[in-house]
Amino acid sequence: MVSSKTKADDVFGLLYETGKAINSSLDTDTIIRNILVIVTKHFKFKDFTFLAVDGNKLVLKGALNHPRWGDKNYFIRIGEGITGAVAATGRPLLIRDVRKDKRYIGIRPKMLSELCVPVKTDGKTIGIFNLESTKLDAFDDKDLKLLSALANQTAVAIKNANLHKSYADTVKRLTNLNESAKAINSSLQLDNVLNTLLKVSAKELHYDSIAILLIKNGRLYARAGVGFTHEEIVSYTADIGEGICGRVAETGEPLVINDISKCGFYINQSPRTKSEMAVPIKYGKEVIGVYNVESNSFNSFDQEDMLFVSALAEQAAIAIRNAELYAKIEGFSEVLKAKVEEATSELKSANEELQRLNKAKSDFVSIVSHELRTPMTSIIGYIDLVKDAQCGPVNEKQKEFLQIAHGESMRLYRLLKDLLDIQKIEAKKMVYLFKPFGIEPFLRKYSREVGRECKAKRLSFSLLLPEKIPVIKADEDKIRQVMANLVSNALKFTKKGGIKIEAAVLPKSVQISVSDTGIGISQENQKLLFEKFSQVNMEASREAGGTGLGLAITKAIVEAHGGRIWVKSELGKGSTFAFTVAIVKATNN
């Protein structure tokens, strides 16, 4: 019997109301709750249930007055009873008297009539709506049509809700993947990379244990995991091709195994494991590891889980490779560091040895020069005595030879002095006696000597002085040494023309220069001049004699006076050496 409310013209109202109610939600539970409200309003019944297909069973998803509501273990096998028959055939059943139907299995004795319709999406039965009444013949064809219409609308709503849920799940997984990509790529430490991988996937999967295995020297080793003890992880290893993971490593193809007991090549690790999923971690085409998830229930992993972990593994592969490379580089730089330290310490001891040798050499030179100088002085003195006929007459020939001996002895003496000077300069033991010094009278007097020497060599000589030269502060002997060196060089390297000594007063210093019209010095050689033992024009220098120490000593002396020395020269045209000495502030003295 149809309730008074469900008259023909109410049909559209009901459908409209149903549509509005159930389509307002994208959540399956809410949809079912709304259906229950509508059913109560429009049908007269004792018991209403919504059973959903789950594998080969029907399970309770919604009910009004059902005695087993809330019982998680309650189910009906597909094919059993009226509801089971509807689920099996996908066709509705209207039973006017249940007592006359052999298929009927009563949970409550008082039920007399029943109406059961399938809920189908895409032609597939996903559940049933079932109404029972304590009255005979409580439902008619109209009720059947109405409940079927309701079921159809519900099916659409549930399908939408499912679609929405899987869409939302996908979005969630994508977001998760994106997050993991960021986290994974932000680290170069392998452990960090693997831990992030575990954390991200653990959020998404129904697992009991996860292990990340990496290939090393042709074998699989566990590198990280959850649901294992540290010892289990450290001790796990497998051959390529051995067991599920070994097979995935070998083929490079993922495996999803719903029932481990039916898998021929499973090597029993944990007795509790029921299903397993293993995904290769590939860098390009090369398998570098396996991502393995195990579950203590059957059917824990589906295609989507596999795709998700594959995407994750793809990201991880790059990061794992980077981390491995980084570790290698780090190891390499450790080795390099050790090598550099070793080399440095070798260099240090070599340097110490060199310093020791250098000091030994300096000591030797200074001792020898010193020891030679004393006898040299007496030799020169005695030659002088003999030459000047102080010890009896000397003939012209003897005098000439003694003159030569005297000159050579003097040369040796100066050489020894240069050696001692450079030694002192290097040891920073040169002693200076700075005093106010009238450079003008000094230059006038000194120039007379130079003039004589020039005349002897048929060279011209000139002295150019400004009107008044301020007093400078200097060590007179050292300035004489500087002048002697510059002038002796000029004389040595000049065959024709002449020599000029010039002084100029600058704002803070006096500049003195010695110019010649000699062989000149090339641009390149000018840079080397002031280094010790540098004789830049070997031929000319050898011929002229000398040690190559003069300019090095000269430069050191000038700099000790706070001045500067430089050269301007052109090959074949002559050279000008100039130096400065600072002016003393109070110029009275």
Residues at the interface with Mg ion (CB under 5 A):
489, 546, 550
Instruction: Indicate which single residue of 246, 254, 518, 563 sits in contact with ligand ADP (rule: CB under 6 A).
Output: 518
Residue 133's DSSP bridge partners are 113
The verdict on 537 binding ligand ADP (CB under 6 A) reads: yes
CB of 403 to ligand ADP, least distance (A): 23
Nearer to ligand ADP, 293 or 491 (CB): 491
Is residue 220 within 8 Å of residue 231, measured between CB atoms? no
Matching residue, tokens 């007991």: 261
Nearer to ligand ADP, 216 or 573 (CB): 573
Residue 299 binds which one of ligand ADP, Mg ion, none, with CB within 5 to 8 A depending on kind? none
- Rounded (to 5) percent helix, strand, coil in the chain: 50, 20, 30
Distance, in Å, from the CA atom of 281 to the CA atom of 249, rounded to the nearest integer, reads 8
Residue 575 binds which one of ligand ADP, Mg ion, none, with CB within 5 to 8 A depending on kind? ligand ADP
Relative to beta strand 498-505, strand 460-464 is parallel
Nearer to ligand ADP, 322 or 534 (CB): 534
The verdict on 536 binding ligand ADP (CB under 6 A) reads: yes
* Token pair in block for residue 43: 């049908």
Distance, in Å, from the CA atom of 302 to the CA atom of 206, rounded to the nearest integer, reads 10
Nearer to ligand ADP, 29 or 449 (CB): 449
Q: How far apart are the first and last CA of the chain?
A: 143
Give the DSSP per-residue string, 135-178.
STT---HHHHHHHHHHHHHHHHHHHHHHHHHHHHHHHHHHHHHH
Instruction: Indicate which single residue of 23, 30, 511, 547 sits in contact with ligand ADP (rule: CB under 6 A).
Output: 547
The verdict on 490 binding ligand ADP (CB under 6 A) reads: yes
Residue 227 binds which one of ligand ADP, Mg ion, none, with CB within 5 to 8 A depending on kind? none
The verdict on 289 binding ligand ADP (CB under 6 A) reads: no
| 22-30, 392-400, 420-428, 488-496 -> range binding ligand ADP (CB under 6 A) | 488-496
| 19-27, 330-338, 379-387, 487-495 -> range binding ligand ADP (CB under 6 A) | 487-495
CB of 385 to ligand ADP, least distance (A): 30
Distance, in Å, from the CA atom of 149 to the CA atom of 157, rounded to the nearest integer, reads 12
* Token pair in block for residue 33: 């709750």
* Total number of residues that touch ligand ADP (CB under 6 A): 21
Q: Is the dihedral of CA 490, 491, 497, 500 positive or negative?
A: positive
C-alpha distance from residue 526 to each of 210, 231, 531, 536 (Å): 77, 75, 10, 8
The verdict on 459 binding ligand ADP (CB under 6 A) reads: no
Q: Note the residue count of the chain.
A: 589
Nearer to Mg ion, 6 or 554 (CB): 554
Tell which positions 549-578 bind ligand ADP, by CB under 6 A. 549-551, 575
| 232-240, 314-322, 464-472, 541-549 -> range binding ligand ADP (CB under 6 A) | 541-549
The verdict on 422 binding ligand ADP (CB under 6 A) reads: no
The verdict on 546 binding ligand ADP (CB under 6 A) reads: yes
CB of 444 to ligand ADP, least distance (A): 22
DSSP summary character for residue 390:
B
CA atoms in the 13 A half-sphere facing the CB of 171: 6
**Dihedral (Cα; 463, 466, 467, 471), 10-degree rounding:** -100
The verdict on 498 binding ligand ADP (CB under 6 A) reads: no
Question: What does the radius of gyration of the chain's CA atoms come to, in whole angstroms?
Answer: 56
Distance, in Å, from the CA atom of 151 to the CA atom of 129, rounded to the nearest integer, reads 7
The verdict on 535 binding ligand ADP (CB under 6 A) reads: yes
Instruction: Indicate which single residue of 485, 509, 517, 580 sits in contact with ligand ADP (rule: CB under 6 A).
Output: 485
CB of 553 to ligand ADP, least distance (A): 8
The verdict on 64 binding ligand ADP (CB under 6 A) reads: no
C-alpha distance from residue 228 to each of 177, 210, 245, 269 (Å): 24, 8, 16, 11
Residue 296 binds which one of ligand ADP, Mg ion, none, with CB within 5 to 8 A depending on kind? none
The verdict on 548 binding ligand ADP (CB under 6 A) reads: yes
The residue of the chain with the least Cβ separation from Mg ion equals 550
The verdict on 499 binding ligand ADP (CB under 6 A) reads: no
Return all residues near 145 (Cβ < 8 A) that are at least 6 apart. 11
Helix (H) or strand (E) holding 203: helix 190-204
CB of 353 to ligand ADP, least distance (A): 29
The verdict on 526 binding ligand ADP (CB under 6 A) reads: no
Distance, in Å, from the CA atom of 242 to the CA atom of 376, rounded to the nearest integer, reads 95
Residue 535 binds which one of Mg ion, ligand ADP, none, with CB within 5 to 8 A depending on kind? ligand ADP
Residues that bind ligand ADP (CB under 6 A): 485, 489-490, 493, 516, 518-519, 521, 529, 534-537, 541, 546-551, 575
